[in-house]
Structure 1
Amino acid sequence: MIHMEISDKQFQMDSLDGLRGFAALLVVFSHTSNQGAFFLPLLDLSGVGKSGVFLFFLLSSFLLTLPLLRKGKDIFTFPVMSHYWQRRFFRIYPLYTLYLLLGVVSTWILVTFIGKSGRGIPFELTWFEFLKHLALLEGKGVTWSIAVEFKFYFILPILILVIVYIRQFGTAAIVSLLTFLMIASQIISPQSESLTNDARLLPYMPIFILGIFIAVLHEHINKNKPNHKVMMTLKWLGFIGVIGVIIMTPVIYSKITGVSVPKNYFHKQFIAYSIFWSFIILSAVNIDGIIQKLFSIKILRFYGTLSFSLYLFHPVYISLLMRLNLNSYLAAWLVLLSSTITAYLTFVILEKPISRYKLKFKSDPSQVKL
């Protein structure tokens, strides 16, 4: 069993590692279902891939907010920011760059030696598009979400600093601020007007804001011993979240309502998804119950460790295996197996070693835990 060496041990939580793995598997199961390949009979998860991506966004916001909150007014000191950006950069860009280079090189090979234009692995990519992806200006395939999340990294420290200064006025002040930001984001960029696989940050801000909110709430719960009523509320909110996420599966919603809906029916329901997943996260990290135990199982934590690589590479195997006209169940399992092996190798060879790399400065950022 491999562990989360790339995460800060101080803020590592088994249930959240498992939730990250669950999010990655949701995306894989959804994308295979979209191609008519199912892991089990009747297990049609078409359209839930966005739910997994939104969970990724929420987890990132939640987990990055916690350590920054504890740094307080020291957020913008050089050691803290240096360590923050090194962890963000080395977590994403090395593997992301190699992934994009695979697209550029494969596109060139297919055109030059085989005469196939408009194709590439994982997608067709020119050098100009490569640079646009690195600059977070474009996102093909699954890379749109990387552009969204990395842009959020730039504004998160600013938001946390504002929260640090206003929390002296109480939790209500923080709730008011975050509520205002939620409303403002919907006025400027309503979720209903978002584009498919939109690489802009603004449409998805409600998700990230909710992630900040539940981090603040989690901190408050941990500092003040909650009574039985509060704990029971968190427990039942977790169950409500599970039920809500299940109902928002298009095939299940269609059966419940008797009205057939397309697989992208809930793709723009950022706020609803975020609320339900927030309930689940709060329950998973605070209540020693079924939800926490479920998302703490080893297989989900294993996939949580490999989630980034699995997310990137599974479309490659879907594209390749769907061309072989295999049995749909066999194709689905081969996609998962191939993606898992690739994710494990990239983690061991690239992600894990690079996560240990730190640029050394006179004020050593390695002393700052983020």
Structure 2
Amino acid sequence: MHPVQGGAAAKSVMGAVVARLDRLDALRGIAALLVVWQHTSESFVKIPGVAERGSWLADLAWSVDFGRIGVVCFFLISGFIIPHSFSSGPGALKKFAIRRLFRLYPVYWVSILVALMAGSILANRHWEPIAVITNLSMMQKLLGQEHIQGLYWTLQVELIFYILCACLFFSGKMKNMVFLTFFAGGCLFVFVGQELLLRSIAGEESISAELRYIPYFLSIMFCGTLLRAVFWEEHPLSRKLFFLTAPAAAFGIPALVLMLHFLGFSVVDQPVRFGAAYLIALAIFLLAIFIPWRVPGILAWFGLISYSIYLFHPVAMRIVHWTNKQSWAGFTENWALWVYMSAGFAITLLIATCTFYLIERPAIAVGRRLSRRKVMTEGMAVT
């Protein structure tokens, strides 16, 4: 190949990769919007008089569980990206840990502080010191404490996934897609076996659904890794078909739940919501990643600040509820559901924009500087 042709081909490939990553960022924005829609609609529709003025926005979100769709999209995105975020060379594991630490925790800790203040001031809600301390770890449920904000459960799953990825990288298995196919299948096997055992012996209520579903969500995250290998990497066709067995099994479960329901057998509560949510999430993920489309600027921005949107929208909801109850806020009494949702989303965007530019982005920059310095120091020591 002529050097100029080779350079053009490389630029074309790089452009395609950048476009796919842009669509991935946009997908984050879509996922965040779905979660906010779910939570705001189901919360504000309970305000007296709101449902009588129309509840279709809440009914639509509930019917297929927009929140679950958004969360599963987030999990697939993490699986698609995180295993490939490890650098090569000395200090790669420390670099990954430092960058993840500064990416996740600073704004998360701020969200805890803001949630505590909002709960205390606006709802007279207070938390025990042990609950606050364990929440700082992001592993509070595993430590026997409740989440200060219910949505933190997904971050706990993310953190477990990061730890597993670090262990797989350390063991040299991170790029072994055959091994990851078996690993994802193993997580799924643990989940199914555990569910069958609990149903037959102990009863499902003996372990919270949040903890029971961790193996399933981990399987879904590694399915994101395998889908990247299938659609974005060079592998023999036979290998790609083998890699697809894990996603087929993981998303075959909700498909099976739907099929059994239509045949008259309901194996879970709300089988239509359960089955549809996972399958719709998979479809959105595949369409967003693998079908070329131009990303609107506003959607790219939502994706940029999606973590802050996710963390702070419950605070915005609390502010709207508090305002609605004040004597001076009589103008809100006749609002339709969409107006309440719009107000909640506007406050969410205001808070998320501030926290992204004041907390998130500076913390990410610090993590990058520290990780580079750490790697350079270790490289010099090895030399």
Q: Per the shorter chain, which TM-score range?
A: 0.5 to 0.7
What count of residue pairs does the alignment treat as equivalent? 310
User: Partners in 2 of 1:52 and 1:62 — Cα distance?
Assistant: 15
1:351 Cα shift? 0.8
Match of 1:34 among 23, 28, 42: 42
SS in 1 for 2:303: helix
Range with bigger deviation, 332-341 or 124-133: 124-133
Does 2:191 correspond to 1:185?
yes
1:282 Cα shift? 3.6
Query: Aligned pair in 2 of structure 1 residues 331, 42: CA closer, same or farther (>3 Å)?
Result: same
SS in 1 for 2:161: helix
Does 2:206 correspond to 1:204?
no
Gaps of 5+ in 2: 1-16, 325-332
Residue 100 (structure 2) aligns with: 88
Match of 1:131 among 122, 130, 133: 133
Q: Deviations over 1:199-228 (max 9, x none)?
A: x4x62332332332332342344343899x
1:41 Cα shift? 7.3
Please tell me whether Structure 1 or Structure 2 has the larger radius of gyration of its CA atoms. Answer: 2
1:277 Cα shift? 2.9
User: Partners in 2 of 1:204 and 1:165 — Cα distance?
Assistant: 20
> Counterpart of 2:82 in structure 1: which amino acid?
L
Gaps of 5+ in 1: 1-8, 111-115, 249-256
Residue 157 (structure 1) aligns with: 166
1:162 Cα shift? 5.8
SS in 1 for 2:270: coil
1:100 Cα shift? 1.5
User: Partners in 2 of 1:181 and 1:326 — Cα distance?
Assistant: 49
Residue 252 (structure 1) aligns with: none
> Counterpart of 2:270 in structure 1: which amino acid?
Y
Residue 69 (structure 2) aligns with: 51
1:10 Cα shift? 7.4
Instruction: Give the TM-score normalised by the residue count of structure 2.
Output: 0.66
Identical-pair percentage: 22
Q: Deviations over 1:344-366 (max 9, x none)?
A: 11111111111100326453389
The structure carrying a bigger helix percent of its residues is 2
**Does the 8 A contact of 1:50 with 1:267 survive in 2?**
no
1:97 Cα shift? 1.1
Does 2:359 correspond to 1:359?
no
> Counterpart of 1:332 in structure 2: which amino acid?
M
Q: Deviations over 1:245-284 (max 9, x none)?
A: 9xx9xxxxxxxx9x9x9xx836994x87455534443443
User: Partners in 2 of 1:31 and 1:362 — Cα distance?
Assistant: 41
Query: Aligned pair in 2 of structure 1 residues 81, 11: CA closer, same or farther (>3 Å)?
Result: farther
Residue 297 (structure 2) aligns with: 298
Q: What are the residue-to-residue correspondences of 1:212-291 with 2, within 5 Å?
A: 212-224=222-234, 265=270, 269=274, 273-274=277-278, 276-288=280-292
Residue 23 (structure 2) aligns with: 15
**Does the 8 A contact of 1:61 with 1:212 survive in 2?**
yes
Match of 1:65 among 71, 78, 83: 83
Query: Aligned pair in 2 of structure 1 residues 119, 12: CA closer, same or farther (>3 Å)?
Result: farther
Query: Aligned pair in 2 of structure 1 residues 326, 267: CA closer, same or farther (>3 Å)?
Result: farther
Range with bigger deviation, 149-158 or 24-33: 149-158
> Counterpart of 1:42 in structure 2: which amino acid?
W
Residue 327 (structure 2) aligns with: none
> Counterpart of 1:284 in structure 2: which amino acid?
A
1:90 Cα shift? 1.0
Instruction: Give the TM-score normalised by the residue count of structure 1.
Output: 0.68
Does 2:33 correspond to 1:25?
yes
> Counterpart of 1:352 in structure 2: which amino acid?
R
User: Partners in 2 of 1:148 and 1:13 — Cα distance?
Assistant: 23
SS in 1 for 2:370: coil
User: Partners in 2 of 1:166 and 1:339 — Cα distance?
Assistant: 38
**Does the 8 A contact of 1:185 with 1:205 survive in 2?**
yes
Residue 182 (structure 2) aligns with: 176
**Does the 8 A contact of 1:61 with 1:211 survive in 2?**
yes
Query: Aligned pair in 2 of structure 1 residues 329, 278: CA closer, same or farther (>3 Å)?
Result: closer
SS in 2 for 1:140: coil
Query: Aligned pair in 2 of structure 1 residues 52, 316: CA closer, same or farther (>3 Å)?
Result: same
User: Partners in 1 of 2:193 and 2:278 — Cα distance?
Assistant: 18
User: Partners in 2 of 1:282 and 1:149 — Cα distance?
Assistant: 20
SS in 2 for 1:45: helix
